[in-house]
């Protein structure tokens, strides 16, 4: 009688986690990073399952599709139905309301959340001439770029990272603005001509962060994913997303929020900045708040209330 080898016995007992992801190159790259981290932490193999979402299938602007949830609904449905065990999203694509039956199991350490300029001839934002055509897919970026008063012609665009960058040289645009995190994950940082200071262009809530979800009753997977969670990133993103939720704004609204960890007199603190800008750049409100890391939600609510007191609701309504 032949005794099974240890490796064979182990592989038979080991389950494979099915990870749901969009099929774009960036989504697959992000999800593979999470898959590798799961395997490193638990020894479990992970299989990527590509899922087509409404946002992937339509060429319409995200705002025209309804904005919130167009890149995540199909993946969440697959998770609820048991087709996949884990879902990975760009956190900023998630609706602010929780999804019944699912839990945010992990928020891994995020990439640099700032925006990046990819311009012809190595130009920076300030070096682009008046009338230069700058492409971006986000109303938030459109509004903030126009608010800088540089005389730029800001053009709404869609498409994946390479498609957008290809429109610069020798294309029809002088520059595009993209999330630096996506360029980093794809190994495209060499194309960046300037990383934009948040004082100029404040990032979107949760930009650069990933959200890893699983079913609320799947205790084994929850335990595995807990090893991927970064408490600092989770706190920062919670403050940013609470601001967005309290403003009752969707992910396609011209809302920005950016929280950073800083060392305070009594330990680590959160420094949160947020803004709402009119789509034409003619007006905007900004605010900031600082407090203990454990008060992330309170800080988000307070800064949202301050922005609403100063006219944020009217600015968002005018931008729809």
- Closest listed residue to residue 256, CA positions, set 235, 296, 287: 287
Distance CA 103, CA 320 (A): 31
The reply to whether omega before 46 is within 30° of 0 (cis) is no
H/E segment holding residue 203: none
**How is residue 309 written in tokens?**
């007191």
Options 93, 174, 218, 295, the catalytic residue: 93
Distance CA 59, CA 10 (A): 46
- Closest listed residue to residue 68, CA positions, set 209, 215, 205: 205
Distance CA 273, CA 264 (A): 17
First-last CA distance in the chain = 73
Active site residue 309: no
Distance of CA 9 to the CA centre of its chain: 40
Is residue 26 a contact partner of residue 185, using CB atoms and an 8 Å limit? yes
Q: Any long-range contacts for 64-71 (C-beta under 8 Å, 24+ apart)?
A: 67/250, 67/251, 67/252, 67/253, 68/95, 68/96, 68/250, 68/251, 68/252, 69/93, 69/94, 69/95, 71/22
Active-site positions read 93
């Amino acid at each position: 009688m032949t005794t099974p080898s240890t490796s064979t016995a182990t592989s038979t007992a080991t389950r494979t986690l099915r990870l749901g992801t969009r099929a774009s190159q960036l989504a697959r790259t992000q999800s593979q990073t999470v898959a590798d981290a799961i395997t490193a932490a638990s020894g479990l193999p992970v299989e990527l399952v590509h899922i087509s979402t409404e946002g992937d299938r339509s060429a319409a602007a995200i705002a025209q599709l309804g904005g919130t949830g167009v890149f995540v609904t199909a993946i969440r449905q697959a998770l609820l139905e048991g087709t996949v065990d884990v879902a990975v999203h760009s956190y900023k694509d998630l609706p602010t309301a929780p999804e019944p039956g699912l839990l945010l199991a992990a928020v891994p350490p995020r990439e640099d959340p700032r925006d990046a300029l990819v311009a012809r001839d190595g130009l920076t934002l300030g070096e682009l001439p008046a009338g230069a055509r700058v492409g971006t897919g986000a109303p938030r970026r459109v509004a903030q770029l126009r608010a800088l008063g540089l005389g730029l012609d800001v053009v709404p665009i869609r498409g994946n990272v390479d498609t957008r960058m290809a429109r610069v040289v020798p294309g029809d645009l002088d520059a595009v603005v993209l999330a630096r995190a996506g360029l980093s994950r794809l190994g495209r940082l060499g194309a960046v001509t300037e990383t934009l200071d948040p004082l100029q262009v404040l990032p979107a809530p949760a930009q650069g962060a990933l959200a890893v979800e699983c079913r609320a009753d799947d205790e084994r997977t929850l335990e595995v994913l807990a090893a991927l969670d970064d408490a600092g990133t989770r706190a920062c993103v919670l403050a940013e997303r609470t601001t967005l939720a309290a403003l009752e704004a969707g992910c396609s609204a011209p809302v920005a929020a950016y929280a950073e960890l800083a060392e305070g007199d009594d330990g680590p603190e959160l420094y949160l900045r947020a803004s709402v800008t009119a789509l034409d750049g003619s007006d905007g409100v900004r605010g900031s708040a600082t407090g203990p890391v454990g008060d992330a939600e309170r800080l988000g609510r307070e800064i949202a209330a301050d922005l609403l007191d100063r006219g944020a609701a009217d600015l968002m309504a005018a931008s729809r």
